[in-house]
Amino acid sequence: MRIYDIIKKKRDGEELTTEEINYLVENYTNGQIPDYQISALFMAIFFNKMNKRETLDLTKAMINSGDTVDLSGIKGIKVDKHSTGGVGDTTTLILGPMVAACGVPFVKMSGRGLGHTGGTLDKLESIKDFRVELTTDEFINNTNSINISLCSQTANITPADKKFYALRDVTATVENLSLIASSVMSKKLAIGSDAIILDVKVGSGAFMKNIDDAIKLAEEMVEIGIGYGRETIALVTNMDEPLGMAIGNALEVKEAIETLRGHGPEDLYELCIQLGTRLLLLAKRVKDEKEGRQMLKEVIDSKAAYNKLIELVRYQGGDTDYIQNTELLPRANHIISVKSNKKGYVKSLNAEEVGKCALALGAGRETMTSVIELSAGIVLNKKIDDKVDVGDTLAYIHANDIAKAEEVENRLKRLYIIGDKNEEDKKLIYGLVTKDGVKLY
Ligand code: URA
Ligand code: CA
């Protein structure tokens, strides 16, 4: 087999065989095929696309390029959740304890985030001594004891994806449905949960800027999961503005704790209820949506979910005082309020740009080796559709460097578009994608 022939075939719009896909993934991962040939192939895939069979084969080959994690030692139907990436998305830290408190094992191994804000692992590191590196045995034992474990991926999960992604990033070939879906799903499927819910974000802060594309991506990923033999569903959700109020690591941990105590932001809480209900259904814990919602509400009201977070922190070596007293979490030196000089309603607030503001304050990584400032970030005081008067506080900037704070203050002021009331109410959930098809909300 020759990579030249595989490139030519795809250039001419033909379908690649399973053997050809296996060959190229294996030999690119082990360094036999040079970057320039895979770059050419990806550009051919970008224009001529892959069909469902090719996409599933690509995903399988990527999974087989590295280790897989066997979680069969965990009792019960284990569920996992993955978001395609948004701004201020704190759901895992809330959803995990909620679902676990309902008696369903919640397992999640995450990679580190790049850009915008930190990933779940970075957020958890705001809690003193919390260990995000667990052995697979610890991961399994903890989940068997308390129904939840959150840790970092082992180094050798889908090495093919690491090389592919780095190459796509510099050759303008990221934005292809098959390449995105196989990249995301290979990482998820390499870890042996029984059921997966995907939160596919759409809007100004997401990869997918329109609903049609997001639904297509969701369908592609659900089909891969099902094709691999795992229960997989997706919710397509709104990322036109940041989720909740807090953006930034320690700030989001605090927001998660407040939500588990029963007074979090409405959108964040509702998204956790929606995702959680679906997970309880997948795990066969409840018979319908109504029962799921009820059970989740109960674990919030009874503080069972909040206590589950404390238990998680204890099991992973963290200082539980940080949960009980959020004043202990890392705090920034300066808090600046951003005031409105207009009157009206918030029409829009570009989530990606707000994410970049948080990044500029140090809340995210510019490069893989950047050090995150856990205390830095933004707390919104006004969101889309909120009424604003001149002099009202739009947001609070948490910064350690006053010059950076002032720069972000100006940027944030411009990002708040104030005008007349929006005609349509904003929507949190656009649709549900399952193996039976798409249901629009
Ligand atoms: N996230 C991934 O992990 N892979 C992609 O290709 C895009 C987003
Ligand atoms: Ca948030």
Site to probe by mutation for ligand 1, drawn from 183, 208, 217 as the one with most ligand atoms within 8 Å of Cβ, is: 183
pLDDT the model gives residue 200: 97
Q: In this predicted structure, what is the pLDDT of residue 153?
A: 85
3-class secondary-structure state, position 36? helix
Q: Is 278 a catalytic residue?
A: no
The per-residue pLDDT for 369 is 79
Q: Single out the residue of 175, 218, 185 nearest to residue 42, CA to CA.
A: 175
Neighbours of ion ligand 2 (CB under 5 A): 88, 90, 243-244, 246
DSSP category for residue 320: T
Question: Active site includes 183?
Answer: yes
Residue-level pLDDT at 412 = 97
Place of tokens 């985030």: 113
Query: Which residue puts its alpha carbon closest to atom 7 of ligand 1?
Result: 180
The pTM is what? 0.95
The answer to whether residues 309 and 93 touch, using CB atoms and an 8 Å cutoff, is yes
Ligand nearest to the CA of 355: 2
184 touches ligand 1 (CB under 6 Å): yes
Q: Going residue by residue through the chain (441 aa), what tens digit of pLDDT does each one get? A: 999 999 999 999 999 999 999 999 999 999 999 999 999 999 999 999 999 999 999 999 999 999 999 999 999 999 999 999 899 999 999 999 999 999 999 999 987 766 666 689 999 999 999 999 999 999 999 999 999 999 998 778 999 999 999 899 899 998 899 999 999 999 999 999 999 999 999 999 998 999 999 999 999 999 999 999 999 999 999 999 999 999 999 999 999 999 999 999 999 999 999 999 999 999 999 999 999 999 999 999 999 999 999 999 999 999 999 999 999 999 999 999 999 999 999 999 999 999 999 999 999 887 777 889 999 999 999 999 999 999 999 999 999 999 999 999 999 999 999 999 988 999 999 999 999 999 999
Rounded distance between C-alpha atoms, residue 80 and residue 91, angstroms: 12
End-to-end CA distance of the chain: 48
By the 8 A CB rule, do 195 and 80 touch? Answer: yes
Q: Nearest-CA neighbor of 313 among 253, 252, 373?
A: 253
d(CA 243, CA 247): 8
Residue 161 is a catalytic residue: yes
HSE on the CB side for 324, CA within 13 Å?
Answer: 8
SS3 category, 2:
coil
Nearest to 143 by CA among 111, 107, 110: 107
How far is residue 104's CA from residue 147's CA, in Å, rounded to a whole number?
6
Closest approach atom of ligand 1 to CA 187: 3
Q: Whose CA is nearest to atom 1 of ligand 1?
A: 184
Q: Whose CA is closest to atom 3 on ligand 1?
A: 184
* CB of 130 closer than 8 Å to CB of 124: yes
Measure the CA dihedral 270/273/278/283, to 10°: 170
User: What Rg, from alpha-carbon coordinates, does the chain have?
Assistant: 22
> Helix (H, G, I), strand (E, B), or coil: what is residue 393?
strand
Whether 123 is catalytic is: no
Q: Give the C-alpha separation, 39 to 9, whole Å.
A: 15
Ligand nearest to the CA of 271: 2
Atom of ligand 1 nearest to the CA of 183: 4
Q: How far is CA 105 from CA 233, 234, 283, in A?
A: 17, 19, 9
Q: How far apart are CA 355 and CA 397, in angstroms?
A: 12
Burial degree of 413 (CB within 10 A; 0-12, 13-18, 19+): middle
